[in-house]
Amino acid sequence: MPSVRHGIALSVAGPIEDRVGEKLGIFLLAENRLLREALVRILQKKNDIEMLGATAFSPLALEQIVNSQLDVLLLDSFTVALSHLDFIREVQAAVPGVKVVMIGMEADEQTFLQAVRAGAVGYVLKDASAQEIVTGVRAVANGEAVCPPQLCLCLFRYLARQSSDLLSFHVKANLGLTKREQQLVQLIGRGLTNKEIASQLNLSEQTVRNHVHHMLHKVGANDRMQVVELCRIQGLAV
């Protein structure tokens, strides 16, 4: 039986495999009724897409989404603001494999990274065209990610920081070196003397010598360069 949600008549589908032609099942959560109705009209015209539901956010939204057996969930920015990003994690926990696309978003780096960490694989800005939204939905359904070009660099920087933090933890766990000691290793690897290192880090030369002595003792090395080589073996860029 068709159900009417906020003026939009939609059929609640059965399991994905029962849908005709294996169409892509979409559920839309959008607070703005005009946006909701416009997107439904556009998406329903696509032969490879089946609209399974469209509604504003409510305490019952998660149940509706789970029952729809969807492939892709579209969330608008107002819905995200109301439900916060934990809602994405709840949906993905309840429907393994579902892809989440956030639409009508700002080109804000912090919000974008929060969305990525929450599990969104599509992020479409508020000035996107209807065709761009459709293309984004199809892309994430095919295992791709959708990221605005102006936010790609932000994502690369974030991944680089994550990699650096993980490597730092790895070196500390295996060699016992603190971040300060790892910093000293990198400067030693560049050929700097204790005096030059002290000047660069605004430390006394004696403090640098003490750090080097502690490092040699920690890793069982005979000299400064042996510490550098051991850190290189662990993957630290020196």
| Residue showing tokens 């929450």 | 118
* Residue 132, pLDDT score: 92
pLDDT digits (tens, 9 = 90+) for 155-181: 888 776 655 544 444 444 556 778 888
CB neighbour class for 156 (10 Å; exposed up to 12, middle 13-18, buried from 19): exposed
User: Is domain 161-234 given the CATH code 1.20.1250.20 in the classification?
Assistant: no
State the DSSP string of 145-173. Answer: -B--HHHHHHHHHHHHHHHHHHHHHHHHH
**Would you state the structure tokens that stand for residue 145, as one six-digit string?**
């990610």
Low-confidence ranges of the chain (pLDDT < 50): 1-20, 165-172
Domain regions of the chain by residue span = 2-152, 161-234
Q: Provide the CB-side half-sphere exposure for 70 (13 A, CA).
A: 30
pLDDT digits (tens, 9 = 90+) for 194-234: 999 999 889 899 999 998 888 887 877 778 887 777 777 66
CATH for the stretch 2-152: 3.40.50.2300
* Residue 66, pLDDT score: 92
User: How many other CB atoms are there within 10 angstroms of residue 169's CB atom?
Assistant: 11
